[in-house]
C-alpha cells in the first residue's frame, strides 16, 4: 500500500513539474527558437546591414522578430551561454548595450502591423519583458521593453 501511495505522490509531483516546465516554455517560447536552413549565416554575420530573403512561409517574419527582440535584450536567449553568437554585436564587433532604439518598417500598419507584426511579437516576446503600444485604431506604434529599449513601428 505504501508503495502505491508513494508512486501516486511521485506521479502527482511529476505532473506538477511538467505543468510548470510547459508554462515556462509557453511564456518564453524564444528559448526554443532554432534557425532554419541558412538562417544561421544571418545570426553569425557581422555585416553592417543584414538582409533576409526567402519565399512565403520560409521564416522571415519569425527570424526578424526574434532578432529584434535579441537586439533589444543584448543577447540571443535561444543560444547557450557559451555560444559566441549569444551576445548580439554591432558591425564593429562591440556588444550591443541596451537600452537601444530601433525601427521596424512595415508596408502598412493595418495589414502588416496587425496581422503579422503584433501576432509574431506576442508569440515570441518573453512574458512580462515588454509591452506593445497601439494607437487608437489598434495599430502597433512601438514595443517598449522593461530595460528601456524601444522598437518604433
Give me the pLDDT at residue 57, please. Answer: 79
94: DSSP letter: P
Task: Please give the pLDDT value at position 2.
Answer: 63
Q: Which triple of cell numbers denotes residue 86?
A: 549569444
For residue 125, give the nearest of 73, 50, 54, 47 by alpha carbon.
Answer: 73
Q: What residue ranges of the chain have pLDDT lower than 50?
A: none
The pLDDT value given to residue 107 = 85
Strand, coil or helix: 40: helix
| pLDDT the model gives residue 114 | 84
Instruction: Give the pLDDT confidence of 75-117 residue by residue, as tens digits.
Output: 999 999 999 999 999 999 999 999 999 998 888 888 888 888 8
The backbone torsions φ and ψ at residue 46, rounded to the nearest 5 degrees and listed phi first, read -105, 15
Quote the pLDDT of residue 92.
Answer: 92
Amino acid at each position: 500500500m505504501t508503495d502505491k501511495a508513494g508512486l501516486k505522490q511521485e506521479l502527482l509531483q511529476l505532473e506538477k513539474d511538467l505543468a510548470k516546465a510547459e508554462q515556462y516554455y509557453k511564456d518564453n517560447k524564444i528559448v526554443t527558437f532554432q534557425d532554419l536552413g541558412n538562417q544561421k549565416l544571418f545570426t553569425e554575420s557581422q555585416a553592417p546591414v543584414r538582409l533576409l530573403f526567402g519565399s512565403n512561409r520560409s521564416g522571415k517574419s519569425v527570424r526578424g522578430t526574434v532578432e529584434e527582440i535579441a537586439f533589444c535584450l543584448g543577447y540571443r536567449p535561444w543560444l547557450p551561454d557559451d555560444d559566441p553568437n549569444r551576445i548580439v554585436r554591432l558591425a564593429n564587433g562591440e556588444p550591443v548595450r541596451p537600452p537601444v532604439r530601433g525601427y521596424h518598417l512595415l508596408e502598412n500598419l493595418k495589414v502588416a502591423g496587425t496581422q503579422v507584426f503584433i501576432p509574431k511579437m506576442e508569440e515570441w516576446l518573453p512574458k512580462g519583458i515588454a509591452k506593445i503600444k497601439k494607437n487608437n485604431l489598434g495599430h502597433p506604434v512601438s514595443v517598449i521593453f522593461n530595460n528601456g529599449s524601444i522598437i518604433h513601428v
